[in-house]
Amino acid sequence: MKKNYFLIALFLFASVGAFAQTTDFDDDMESYTEGTIIENAWWTVWNSSTVGILSSSEQANSGSLSGKVGDDPTTIDPVLNLGNKIFDTWYTNFMMYVPADKEAYWNLQGEVPIGSGEWIIGNIFMNQDLAAPGVGLIDNCVGAPVNFTFPHGAWFEVEMIVDISAGISAATWELNIDGNNVIPAGTAFTDSAGTVPTSLGGINYYAISTNNTYYLDDLRHADFAELGTADFASKGFSATPNPVVNVLNLQANENISSVAIYNVLGQQVYAANIDALSSTIDMSQMASGAYFVKVNINGTEGTVKVIK
């Protein structure tokens, strides 16, 4: 329904090898029957007179199925239920595909079930009215209007981190689209007027017009201390010693593609492309405290906390 008008603050265990994660859902869209409307614990609708997302084989990022948001603004109004979160740090990501001659629209809601609607963020337009191919616009958020780019006719990732660790009234967020930072970490999680939401409620994927069509795949929503925990651990990754004195040693069974380190304020203090099984990082000039090390190992990302 359209309204008219990294760093992730993770709570980690003390040791790098320990994992703590609660995943609300991890949906590759493969368990549904093609051509049917999807409804389950996380897929719902705006109200009883609207319909949800459609299982489709027209496009897929992985497997053979995705969720389609079509072109009927009178009925199509899916909602991804994010669970009305008011504490902790929540990571949500999904893959999105917008055909070259189509537009897309979504927004963030403060409560599910929707009721009359509580817009936290958005409207979020992509190629609005077909007049801005490859360009997106957020018209209601801190710093609005915010413009961004995205690729038409290709799958791209949307990644959102909402830090509610200090409570919903002090919540901040970050948004990345196609690997580019759109909303920087630490931005207040409110609308343009500074209105505090009830909670992190859900994402509304509304069919904004008859020109609207897009696809969603590989959706994940989790409160976690480690990203990609199982796959990441299986690659034999280690970061030692922890606590760090001066040098942090990284090791894995597969090539480490890249490393980035963030402080507790979400500021990036180190970044490097590695392309090797091991690497050493000189942290001697970094201040004492906690750091979050984000590592990419052949496309699998994980984040660990180290203490200096």
- Residue 233 is predicted with a pLDDT of 67
Rounded Cα–Cα distance for residues 9 and 199 (Å):
17
- Residue 20 is predicted with a pLDDT of 36
Tens-place pLDDT, residues 222-236: 875 445 555 666 788
Query: What percentage of the chain reaches a pLDDT higher than 70?
Result: 88
Mean pLDDT value across residues 92-102: 97
CATH class of 229-307: mainly beta
User: Vertex 187, ends 127 and 239: CA angle to 5°?
Assistant: 105
pLDDT beyond 60 at 91: yes
pLDDT beyond 90 at 109: yes
Between 213 and 239, the higher pLDDT residue: 213
For 287, counting Cβ atoms within 10 Å of its Cβ (0-12 exposed, 13-18 middle, 19+ buried), the class is exposed
Residue with token string 């537009």: 103
Tens-place pLDDT, residues 196-231: 999 999 999 999 999 999 999 999 998 754 455 556
Structure tokens at 303: 């984040």
- 21-224 in CATH: which number? 2.60.120.200
Mean pLDDT value across residues 114-140: 97
Is pTM beyond 0.75 here? no
- Residue 18 is predicted with a pLDDT of 32
Tens-place pLDDT, residues 255-305: 999 999 988 666 789 999 999 999 999 999 999 988 888 888 987 777 777
The model's confidence at residue 153, banded by pLDDT at 50, 70 and 90, is very high
Domain boundary assignment for the chain: 21-224, 229-307
Side-chain half-sphere CA neighbours of 99 within 13 A: 14
